[in-house]
Amino acid sequence: MIILKADYKKYNVSELENIRVDEEEFYGTFYNAILLQTCNRVEIIFDADKLEDIKGIENIKLEKFDILVGDEAIEHLFRVACGLESMIVGEDQILGQLKNAYLKAKEKGKISKKLEKIILKAIHTGQRARVETKINEGGVSIGSAAVELAEKVFGLEGKNVLLIGAGEMANLVIKALKEKNIKAIIVANRTYEKAERLAKELGGIAVKFDKLEEALRYADIVISATGAPHPILTKERLKNAGKTFIIDIANPRDTTDDIKELPGVFLFTIDDLRLVAEENLKKRKKEIPKVEKIIYEELENLKELLDKMKLEVAVKELGQYIENIRKREVEKALKILKNKNKPAEEVLDDFSKALCKKIIYDMIKIFENVESREFFECLAKEFKKHGNNN
C-alpha cells in the first residue's frame, strides 16, 4: 500500500485547500484507490507496491506530499482512524470521514479486495480505540469544553440554549451541541443569515440582534462567541434575565465582570475553559499508549489476514494453471480416442502420465529460479507426506 500524505503538520488550511484533488477527476483516473480529504488533511491511498505501477500518477504533484509505503502506510492509516494523527488528539470526526471516503470509493467501484480489507480493519481499530480507551473523552477545543462545562455544572437536558455569534468558535459549539439532548437552541448574530444557517444544523431558531434581550430572558444557558470589539452582555442588559448560566468564549470578551453581581447569574470565561481543555488533553494523551497497543494487535491480525489472502490467490492461480494443462491433455486424449488408435485404458494412462510430467517439468523450471533450495525440499516432503496419507 502507498499513501500520499499532506496535513496540518506541514501546511495551513489555505495551503491544503490548494493541494486538494477534484474527487470526480480522481475516481475517473485511478483504480484501487481512496481519496481522504478533510480541512486538515489530504491523503491519497493506493493499493500498489511502487509509484511507477500507478497509472495516472503523473497527474499528481508528488512534491507536495509525504510518501508512505507498505507497513508504514498501513500503520499511519490505523493511527489516523484512531485520532492519533489529528490536530485534536482522539477526535471522532475523522473516523466518520474515513468511512465516507471508503463508501465513495466502493460506490465508484474503484476499491480492490485487499484495500477494502485494510480500510475496514482501520475503521474497526478506530472503533475499538474509542470503546476500550478514553482517547476521545473530554472536550479539548474551547467550543466543546464550553458545552462540557455547561453540562457538568448546570445540565443540558431539557434546557434552552442561546448561542450568540456565528463564527468559527460558534461552529465548534454547534458541533458539540449536536450530541446533546437540549430542549431548544436559539442563535443570535448581527448577520441574520449566518444565524439562520447555524440554527438549521440543530433544528433551532435564529433571532435578530435587536431581539437579544428577549432571547436572554428565555435562555437557561448562554454561550457567547462573537467577534465584537466591545462587551455585548452587560449588567444592564441582563438585569431581567433571571437564573442564567453564561459562558463567554469570545476574545476579546463579550461580558463585563459586574454581571456576576446579579442574583442567579453565573459567569465563566475563556480562561476557565482553557484549563478544562488543557486538562482533558492531558488525559487523552495518557491514553495514547493504550491506543497504540490496540493498533499493534490489529496490525498483527491484519498481517495474518493479508497472508491468508495471498495464499488464496496463489492457490487460485495454481488451480488455474493445472486446469489449463488438464484441458490441453484432455483434448489430445479425445482426438486419440476418436481415431481409435489405442484402447481407452491406454489412452487414459498416457493422459495421466502426460499431465503429471508437464506439472513436474514446470515446477523444476520454476524452482531453478528460486534461491532457497530448502523451500523446494520442504515442499517435496509435504507432498510426499500428503501422498502417503491419501
Please check if 320 is assigned to a binding site. no
Catalytic residue among 39, 82, 356, 378: 39
Q: What stretch of H or E contains 2?
A: strand 2-7
Does residue 167 have a known ligand-binding role? yes
SS3 231: coil
Q: What are the grid coordinates assigned to 142, written together?
A: 474551547
On whether the CB atoms of residues 337 and 344 are closer than 8 A, the answer is yes
Q: Where are the alpha helices (DSSP H) in the chain?
A: 13-19, 23-29, 71-82, 93-107, 113-132, 142-153, 168-177, 192-201, 212-218, 235-238, 270-286, 288-339, 344-368, 373-389
374 annotated to bind ligand: no
Cα–Cα distance measured from residue 249 to residue 231, given in angstroms and rounded to the nearest whole number: 12
User: Residues near 342 by Cβ (< 8 Å), separated by ≥ 6?
Assistant: 336, 350
Say if residue 169 carries a ligand binding annotation.
yes
Whether residue 97 is annotated as binding a ligand: the answer is yes
Question: Rounded to 5 degrees, what angle do the CA atoms 242, 156, 207 make?
Answer: 60
**261 annotated to a ligand binding site:** no
39 is in an annotated binding site: yes
Sign of CA dihedral 377, 378, 382, 388: positive
220 is in an annotated binding site: no
What is the largest distance, in Å, between two alpha-carbon atoms of the chain?
Answer: 115
The response to whether 37 counts as a known ligand-binding position is no
Handedness of CA 259, 262, 266, 272 (dihedral sign): positive
Annotated ligand binding at 166? The verdict is yes
Sheet holding 205-208, edge to edge: 205-208, 184-189, 160-164, 221-224, 244-248, 265-269
> Known catalytic residue: 82?
no
Task: State yes or no: 86 annotated in a binding site.
Answer: yes
> Is 25 flagged in the annotation as binding?
no
Binding residues for NADP(+): 165-170
- State the catalytic residues: 39
Binding residues for substrate: 38-41, 86, 91-93, 97
Binding residues: 38-41, 86, 91-93, 97, 165-170
